[in-house]
Amino acid sequence: MDVEVTPLPGIGVRKDFPLGGSGRRVGVVDRKDGTVDLILSRPGNPDECEQVAMTVTEAATLAGLLGAPQLVGQLVAEQRDLEGVNTRQLSLRTGSPYAGRPLGDTRMRTRTTASIVAVVRGGQTIPSPGPDFPMAAGDQLIVVGTGAGLDAAAAILVDG
Amino acid sequence: MVADETALGLIQLGAVFFGLGLLGRLAARIGLSPIPLYLIGGLVFGTGGLVELHHVDQFIHLASEIGVVLLLLLLGLEYTADELVTSMRRSWTAGVVDLLANATPGVVIALLLGWGLTGAVAMAGVTVISSSGIVAKILNDFGRLGNRETPAILSILVFEDLAMAAYLPLLTAVLAGVGFLTGATSVAIALIAVSVVLVIALRYGRYVSMLIDSHDREIFLLTLLGSALLVAGMATVLQVSAAVGAFLLGIAISGTTAESARTMLEPLRDLFAALFFVLFGLSTDPKSIPPVLGWACVLVVVTVVTKVGTGWWAAARAGASRYGRLRAGTSLVAHGEFSIVIAGLAVSAGAVPAEFAAMAGTYVLLMAVLGPIAARFAEPVVRRLDRLRAPAT
């Protein structure tokens, strides 16, 4: 992908690239103070952009949201030859009995045969989390298993 | 008696700061830069009606000098040497067009009013330099950072700011009325200093920053402010203008040091610069405004046209649409702090007539108010006109 990098003296650096489908440009303005603006050019007008200011945490969260499906997609592609094995992205919602508890407490593997292979939090992917990994509400869990196992895993995360 | 003097001084200074605070609040409420209101505040105080400032005169004079140093130091901190060099290389043609198109009206009007060469040189600076502060705020507030024309606008601002480093020593020399040789020498010194600082900042910026940086806020602030005033003072001795020295120091400081210096100095700059604007208002006689008001309006109309033209042309070269060109042009209209810095130098040197201060003050007042309004409304108005015209054709 060709990312166009344009210096904005006194403000920061603009990095953007064209979106093939819609003919719009999308990118960010990296400011000197570390904050980020999301920019997206208006439909049918490559000259003008929508600009959304974001804090560092907000930008990282957005990056995570954009990155997580890709991780799932990658795992799905790797397991294409394995009959009956699926990958799903499950979110740990506020109010889940496991929010704030170590991952081992779910006894996920024993109860459903499904495995939690990664956790996406705040834009960062934590691969192969151990049993003592503390889970938090809002985490995205990447779970691998059979269809039935994944359904059971989803139910456990909600009801305990 | 001494205690009385101190008490009066404190009360007067408190009244000034408090009054400026109220004006600033009003400016924020109506979405305006506070600079025009500070100028008006100075004019009001100066008439002698509200507060007589005899007891804090000296303090305000020194404080406004510090204000100018801080204004330029923070301007230097905005830019890295790398940005300055690449920007210069990429857009010097637009910068030269900007200088020529916008200096000419100032020169012509100064000569018409019989202010001589000194007035012409000073007025040229006042009309050329857009306010990078107000323009950056416009770009931010209206969400235009991602737009195609924006890099062109910023490049012109960089060029103007860098050109100021060569211009201020020239102005200082002209104001001092020194001969051609002395004047040429100080300009040469300034140019050499600019080049040396750029090279040092590009190669060894780390070391300059290391020298000033400290984890202790207090030590950092003292070192930073101390070095800025030292450099500014030495520059004045060399007749290069204190402001240029501060600007160069700002460029030499880079990276995270520059970032923390900015956050730390910004409130200080706002405080001292506010006093500087007040002082300019104070030293302007309100009675001298009406006679020059007509000419000031003419100058405003002419330079709005030339500034819009400059931005239009620069944005066209960047491949922006008609509306982008219009946005670029109107963004550049805002004048502010640096026009007053230039005018302030001329006035305090006493080398220009009283109408000069009135003219420059009125001009900046109008341009500072008009700039954001033009930048906001020109595009919607033209779009509507285009839509009205479209069905007819």
Confidence (pLDDT) at A151: 87
**Is B146 close to A41, i.e. CB distance below 8 A?**
yes
**Residue B240 in 3-state DSSP?**
coil
B372: exposed, middle or buried (Cβ count in 10 Å: 0-12, 13-18, 19+) = buried
pLDDT one-digit tens code per residue, B273-296? 999 998 888 888 888 888 999 999
Helix axes B242-252, B180-212, angle to 10 degrees: 40
Distance from CA of B83 to the nearest CA of A (A): 6
Residues of B in contact with A19 (CB under 8 A): none
| Cα distance between residue A3 and residue B258, in whole Å | 28
- Cβ–Cβ < 8 Å for B330, B156: no
| Half-sphere exposure in the Cβ direction for B150 (13 Å, CA) | 28
| Half-sphere exposure in the Cβ direction for B371 (13 Å, CA) | 31
**Is B151 close to A8, i.e. CB distance below 8 A?**
yes
pLDDT one-digit tens code per residue, B117-136? 999 999 999 999 999 989 99
**Is A10 close to B132, i.e. CB distance below 8 A?**
yes
Residues of B in contact with A32 (CB under 8 A): 259
Distance from CA of B152 to the nearest CA of A (A): 9
Strand order of the sheet with strand A25-31? A4-8, A12-18, A25-31, A36-42, A45-54
Which one-letter DSSP state was computed for residue B30?
T
Distance from CA of A40 to the nearest CA of B (A): 8
Interface test with A, best of B74, B88, B148, B161 (most A CBs within 10 A): B148
Beta bridge partners of A125: A120
pLDDT of A64 over the 70 cut: yes
**Would you say how long chain A is, in residues?**
160
Size of interface A-B (CB pairs under 8 A): 72
* H helix or E strand, kind and range, residue B62: helix B57-78
Confidence (pLDDT) at B8: 85
Confidence (pLDDT) at A122: 67
**Is B79 close to A8, i.e. CB distance below 8 A?**
no
Structure tokens at B62: 């020194």
Phi, psi of A40 (to 5 degrees): -145, 120
pLDDT of B165 over the 90 cut: no
- Cβ–Cβ < 8 Å for B131, B338: yes
Cα B14 from chain centroid (whole Å): 26
Considering chain B, what is the average pLDDT of its residues? Answer: 88
Angle at B95 between CA B89 and CA B99, to 5 degrees: 150
pLDDT of B49 over the 50 cut: no
For residue B50, what pLDDT band results from cuts at 50, 70 and 90?
low
Confidence (pLDDT) at B46: 66
| B321 in reach of chain A (CB within 8 A) | yes
Please name the residues in contact with B387: beta carbons below 8 A apart, sequence gap of 6 or more: none
Cα B127 from chain centroid (whole Å): 11
- Cβ–Cβ < 8 Å for B120, B106: yes
Distance from CA of A31 to the nearest CA of B (A): 10
Interface test with A, best of B145, B317, B323, B383 (most A CBs within 10 A): B145
pLDDT one-digit tens code per residue, A5-30? 888 888 888 999 988 878 889 999 99
Confidence (pLDDT) at B193: 83
For residue B229, what pLDDT band results from cuts at 50, 70 and 90?
very high
Confidence (pLDDT) at A139: 85
B303 closest CA partner among B35, B123, B113: B123
Cα A98 from chain centroid (whole Å): 20
pLDDT one-digit tens code per residue, B69-111? 999 999 999 888 888 888 888 888 999 999 999 999 999 999 9
Beta bridge partners of A28: A15, A38
| Cα distance between residue A25 and residue A42, in whole Å | 8
* H helix or E strand, kind and range, residue A121: strand A115-121
What mean pLDDT comes out for the span A134-140?
A: 85
For residue A123, what pLDDT band results from cuts at 50, 70 and 90?
low
For residue A118, what pLDDT band results from cuts at 50, 70 and 90?
confident
Which of A81 and B66 is assigned the larger pLDDT? B66
For residue B47, what pLDDT band results from cuts at 50, 70 and 90?
low
- Cβ–Cβ < 8 Å for B101, B276: no
pLDDT one-digit tens code per residue, B287-322? 888 899 999 999 999 999 999 999 999 999 988 889
Nearest to B79 among A10, A27, A41 (CB): A10
Q: Rg of chain A over CA atoms, in angstroms?
A: 19
Long-range contacts of the stretch B181-189 (C-beta < 8 A, 24+): B182/B239, B186/B238, B186/B239, B186/B240, B189/B238, B189/B239, B189/B240
| Cα distance between residue B382 and residue A156, in whole Å | 60
Confidence (pLDDT) at B31: 78
| B89 in reach of chain A (CB within 8 A) | no
Q: Closest chain B residue to A25 measured between Cα atoms? A: B146
Confidence (pLDDT) at B348: 87
Considering chain A, what is the average pLDDT of its residues? Answer: 84
Confidence (pLDDT) at B106: 95
The residue behind tokens 């507060």 is B51
Q: Closest chain B residue to A45 measured between Cα atoms? A: B321
| Cα distance between residue B192 and residue B146, in whole Å | 36
Confidence (pLDDT) at B104: 96
| Cα distance between residue B176 and residue B178, in whole Å | 5
